[in-house]
Structures are given as C-alpha cells and as structure tokens.
Amino acid sequence: MKKLLAFTLAEVLVTLGIIGVVSAMTVPSLMQNHQRKTYVTQLHQVYNLFQQAFLQYTNDKNALNLHEAGLISSAEVSNFMNSYFKIVQSCTDFTECFYDGSYKNMSGTDLTNASYWPGASAAPCFVLANGASVCVENSKYHTTYGHITIDINGKKGPNIAGRDLFFVTYYSDGSIDEDGIPPECRTSGTGCGSGKTNPKDVRAAVGATCSSRGDAKGCFGLLLNNNWEMDY
C-alpha cells in the first residue's frame, strides 16, 4: 500500500503563525510606502498641471515670462485658473476650499505660521477637478515669483504639512520650486546664502526641519532633491 504524506495540524498552525507574524511586521510598512507614493503622485500631477498652464499662458500672451504676461493681480489669477484648469469650485475664503480645522506638521504640532496660506495678498483659492485645493498668489508682490498653497486632496485627511499640504514658489519663467530660493541662486549659483552655491543645498537647508516647522515650507524641496521620492 502507498503511504500518504500530509502535514500535521501542528505543522499547519505553526506555518500560519509564522505567516501572521511576518505579515504583522511588513504590512504596515508596505501600506505606509504605498500611501507616500500616492501623496507624491497626486502632488506631481498638480505640479505638472501648473507648469503646463504657465507655459501655455505665457505663449498665448506672446510674453517672455509670467509677469510680462500679466499675472499680477488676483483678478488675472482667477482668469488664468478658469482658462487653463478644470475648476470645480472657486472660493472666497481659504476654509471653503481647504480643511477648516488645524493643519499639523509631521511631529503632530499645529501649524502656527500663516505663511502656508498666502491670504495676506488675497490669493484666490480653487478646487480642481482632480480634487486638489490650491491658493495662487499673483506675482505683483514679488515681481519675479509668487506662491501656491496646495492641498492635494482638499478637505480630506491627513491634513499634514509635507504629506498632503505643500507651500511652493512659482517663478516668472514658469518653473516651480521650494520657497526661499532667490532667482540669482537658481540661475547663477550666487546669492544662495550661507556659502551655498546651488538650489539643491538651499532646499536641503530649508527642508532640514520640514517635519517640525510651524508652516508648510521645506518638504517640497526635499522631494525635488530626491527625484520625487518621499523618504522623510
């Protein structure tokens, strides 16, 4: 007679127990990595939409840059957004488009510096068709650049700077970068501050405290420095 081979109940239970332990150790990490990639993908989409819109706007105005094209008033920002984006909602107040509670940093502390919202310049705010909320400051105040506040999923959580909330700078040439990088640093490597000679060093310095800042600056520069990988 042939001898039938099979696993015992004890062996099956031990195997399942090992699988359970390994899963408990690896699944949370895999989920976190997946969520980070989702955040980056959504932010990159908004980034690309703005770069394409800035280029098209400049070309349509037959201008050399955004400032010359006329992006120097809140009314023109609204016209620009409605012309080059699919807008779901235009907001008269920041909280109509963004989370109306307290945004936090990655350390769990409430943001206390309102610089993550360019409301002082009456920046118009919008909800885009992809679900992102944005406030766009016109370039009149700084001549060569303006600011954009981005919540990649609007009022939905986690409402954390560096995860779904970002504060970026757009320059007159249509490029988008970290806040606080002077134009001369971007073009010639001079004027970067504290002995720095290139934008990458400035981004690293600003982003060194992105997890604990009282505003939403810093983390975007780290993404640019790391080829859009969220490793912070």
Q: What is the pLDDT of residue 120?
A: 46
4 pLDDT band (50/70/90 cuts)?
A: low
Q: What is the pLDDT of residue 29?
A: 66
Angstrom distances, CA of residue 168 to CA of 45, 50, 151, 220: 14, 11, 11, 7
* CB-based burial label for 203 (10 Å; 0-12, 13-18, 19+): buried
**Do 150 and 163 contact (CB within 8 A), yes or no?**
no
Tokens of 150: 């981005």
Who wins on pLDDT, 220 or 141? 220
Q: pTM, whole model, 2 decimals?
A: 0.85
Query: What b-and-e string marks burial along 28-38, b requiring 16 or more CB atoms within 10 Å of the CB?
Result: eeeeeeeeeee
Q: In what order do the strands lie in the sheet with 133-136?
A: 87-91, 125-128, 133-136, 145-151, 165-171, 176-177
Q: Does residue 32 have a pLDDT over 90?
A: no
Q: What is the pLDDT of residue 6?
A: 67
Residue whose token pair is 């700078």: 169
Q: Is 152 helix (H, G, I), strand (E, B) or coil?
A: coil
Q: Each residue of 89-124: pLDDT tens digit?
A: 999 888 889 998 889 999 999 998 766 665 445 689
**Amino acid found at 164:** D
Q: Each residue of 162-218: pLDDT tens digit?
A: 999 999 999 999 999 998 888 889 888 888 988 899 999 999 999 999 999 999 999
Q: Report how far residue 52's alpha carbon sits from residue 55's, in angstroms, rounded to the nearest whole number.
A: 5
Residue 7's CB: how many other CB atoms inside 10 A? 10
**Do 74 and 112 contact (CB within 8 A), yes or no?**
no
Q: What is the pLDDT of residue 195?
A: 84
Q: Each residue of 116-175: pLDDT tens digit?
A: 665 445 689 999 999 999 999 887 767 788 999 999 999 999 999 999 999 999 999 999
Q: What is the mean pLDDT of residues 13-24?
A: 71
Q: Each residue of 44-86: pLDDT tens digit?
A: 999 999 999 999 999 999 999 999 999 998 899 999 999 999 9
Q: Does residue 1 have a pLDDT over 60?
A: no
Q: What is the pLDDT of residue 170?
A: 94
